Structure 1
Amino acid sequence: MTQYFQLFRLPEQFSIDNQILEQTYRTLAMQFHPDKFVAASAFEQKQAMMMSATINQAYQVLKNPLERAVYLLQAQNINPDDPNNTHIAPEFLMQQMQWREMLMEARIENDTDTIQQLHTEITAKREDLLGSLKTYFDEKRYIEAAETVRQGRFLDKMLHEIETALG
């Protein structure tokens, strides 16, 4: 399960050096790019294609903090996206409903200022959430991390809807 971290020579932890991730990705992508294997055997071409796909998948997971958190949780046999894992703090659920209502009303009224304020507020909440994830992983508090991932999924979805509303 830790193969993505090993592939990018990164420590298996939530906090990673994004600059090293980017540099290693570019190096690996160039090294295993299928075009470099045009004159190679069919087997070597297939291996390069598979390695390239793995590199791209690993990069997508590791560069996204929530996906990286899910990957780390899965290494602990915890699936935060399991439909049976539905616990979310009641306060967060109430906040979620308020944000949805605000967005709906702002869309109806075409109130871009309110939509922009909502974007700012949720972006800040997401940053706080990522800070909490770091703490939970540092302290090996995986159940709290899983709940935080579920909250992060909602925030990401909400931010996408807001960005769509803003055009």
Structure 2
Amino acid sequence: MNRTKKLWKPFCQVAHRALPSTSRFKLSNYNYNFSTQIYFLDCTSSSRIQNPSLYCGLCYYFEILKFSGRSFCSESAEKASNATCWNCNEAPKAAPFLFCESCRSVQPVDHSVDYFQIFGLGKKYEIGNEKLEGKYKDWQKRIHPDLVHSKSEKEREYAAEQSGRVIEAYRTLTNPLARAIYILRLEGVEVNEDETVSEPELLMEIMEIREAVEDAADSQTLKEIQSQMQEKLIHWGNSFADAYQNRNFDEARVCIRRMTYYHRVNEEIAKKL
């Protein structure tokens, strides 16, 4: 535990050791452009799909922080083009209409259906991962590309797109940080990559944390720092939930920035363990 006291060194010491004379503190592009090239997952497996690495490229220098979510797609732009099944013309028996129960055909992607709707959830930040996992497996048992390998090229394309989108939705909603950014996007609130942050206390804290990670002598010390970061992530996740519920989107963005920094520290620790 003594080693973790490095987290709170005086700023002048940290700055003297960590900062070059011409330095910038910048948070580079932070993307949630999840790949959909991994459609062929074993949907019958009981193993969980791990959340994707959400790297934000944190450079620990002092002047400017920038936050980006540019590549994260908007889910409210497109109306459904088909009110009936493309194959049998039957009306959908349930929403969302990813799969026709009448003829067992996978349907084309409807981007007006958001990720919460795919999993039968209301649009709220606090959700349970257990329900998400069960629904994810149910969808893949219906729309997985392997299930339509002998069908038409059109339906194989639909299955690949639908399965990829369900994977993307699952990854987004099971990750608190990705979920926070996504739910703000649904509200039309962008997390601007060019937004400049000037929070000296936060910058000092991040530099101290980074130095502690770099100087950690053993895995136990790293795990202690990782535990501290996880507590901070939970705290700021709860703060985001409150801000979102109160429609305080400016505060919600502040919470996302904090979550981003602490998440990045945990990613760096994971590389060392």
Using structure 2 for the length normalisation, give the TM-score: 0.56
Q: SS in structure 2 opposite 1:9?
A: coil
Q: Which residue of 1 aligns with 2:269?
A: 162
Q: Distance in 2 between matches of 1:115 and 1:36?
A: 44
Report deviation, 1:111: 4.1
Q: Which residue of 1 aligns with 2:150?
A: 39
Q: Describe how 1:1-167 pairs up with structure 2 within 5 A.
A: 1=75, 3-80=114-191, 82-87=192-197, 89-106=199-216, 110-165=217-272, 167=273
Provide closer, same or farther for how the CA distance between residues 85 and 128 of structure 1 changes in structure 2, counting only shifts above 3 A: same
* Higher helix residue share: 1
Report deviation, 1:88: 5.7
Opposite residue 87 of structure 1, the aligned amino acid is V
Report deviation, 1:152: 1.0
Report deviation, 1:32: 0.2
Q: Which residue of 1 aligns with 2:48?
A: none
Q: Distance in 1 between matches of 2:116 and 2:178?
A: 13
Structure 1 stretch displaced more, 27-36 or 89-98:
89-98
Q: SS in structure 2 opposite 1:16?
A: coil
- Percentage of matched positions with identical amino acids: 28
Q: CA RMSD in A?
A: 1.7
Q: Distance in 2 between matches of 1:164 and 1:45?
A: 38
Highest CA radius of gyration, 1 or 2?
2
The runs of 5 or more residues in structure 1 that have no matched partner are none
Report deviation, 1:113: 3.9
Q: Distance in 1 between matches of 2:186 and 2:198?
A: 22
Q: Distance in 2 between matches of 1:58 and 1:38?
A: 23
The runs of 5 or more residues in structure 2 that have no matched partner are 1-74, 77-113
1:135-163 per-position Cα deviation (integer Å, ceiling 9, x unaligned): 11111111111121111111111011112
Using structure 1 for the length normalisation, give the TM-score: 0.88
Q: SS in structure 2 opposite 1:39?
A: coil
Opposite residue 132 of structure 1, the aligned amino acid is S
